[in-house]
Amino acid sequence: MFSDVDRAQDPRSLIKYVEKANANNRQRALKEQVIKRILRPQPGEAVLDVGCGVGHDAHVLAELVGGRGHVTGIDRSQLMVQEAKKRSRYPRSRLAFLVMNGSNMECESGVFDACLIVSTMMHASRPAAMLSEVARVLKVGGRLVVFEPDWDMLVLDTGDRAVSRHLVRMLRQGVKNSGIGHQLPSLFRQAGLRNIKVECGALTASSYREINDAWRLKAILDKARRRRLCSAKQVQAWLQQVKWAAKMGCLFGASAGFAVYGRKA
């Protein structure tokens, strides 16, 4: 899915998912807090946004660096970058979007003051290579903040333990790097980053819509069914249990997210 958006069965649905996530006031506020309080982009700085999607976070960054600064948003997906360019509110001299692989960037070394990566490394084929590449393009003393959910810390209660276990297993299998959140501090050190700081927060949900929006439950179950990891009958039964639990007021889900900060030595 997000590992290769352009080849996804329904790539436009992924854009809609990103839209829903950014329309969620709680999630949007949390991301803006990470940007403003932890990354702290300054006027005039050059900032990189890896896995920029349709450009929501890049616009926040562009506002903070001002007219003398510059933000470069990169994404592997041509569709995402095209959409980001359409939505851009700033001239290219202030905000540029490029199709580029974060693990192999066509950039000179030491050109960025700061870098932001949000919900991207969980889909990366080579997370360690991506962090090493980001470290390469950062200036000495440059700042990196990665904000990722940790699907290994996902919990779900549907009122039926067996169904809950099956759903959690399927959701974790639906993400390439399900435990990337708690692995980030070690990966930062391996990439040569220093002054590492970690903050953790939790996302909770108690309705079918919230759980589906947060963890793409139906989409991941459909993918598991196509891969023959489960049957259509199982998917139907599991979703019915989730909806029943929501109706009865006993549905609950939660996952942890990690914001990790580091500087290039």
Q: Max alpha carbon distance in the chain (Å)?
A: 57
Give me the pLDDT at residue 149, please. Answer: 94
Give me the pLDDT at residue 1, please. Answer: 61
Give me the pLDDT at residue 211, please. Answer: 94
66 and 46 Cβ atoms separated by less than 8 Å: no
CB atoms within 10 A of CB 249: 10
At 36 the three-state DSSP class reads helix
CA dist 81 and 100 (Å) reads 9
Please name the residues in contact with 172: beta carbons below 8 A apart, sequence gap of 6 or more: 151, 152, 154, 178
CA dist 122 and 174 (Å) reads 10
Give the pTM. Answer: 0.93
CA dist 151 and 91 (Å) reads 37
Give me the average pLDDT of each 10-residue run along the chain (265 residues): 74 79 77 94 98 95 97 96 95 97 95 97 95 98 97 97 97 95 98 97 92 91 93 97 97 96 97
Query: Which residues form the domain of 99?
Result: 2-264
Number of domains in the chain: 1
At 186 the three-state DSSP class reads helix
CATH number, position 190: 3.40.50.150
Give me the pLDDT at residue 22, please. Answer: 75
Q: Which two tokens stand for residue 118?
A: 């949000």
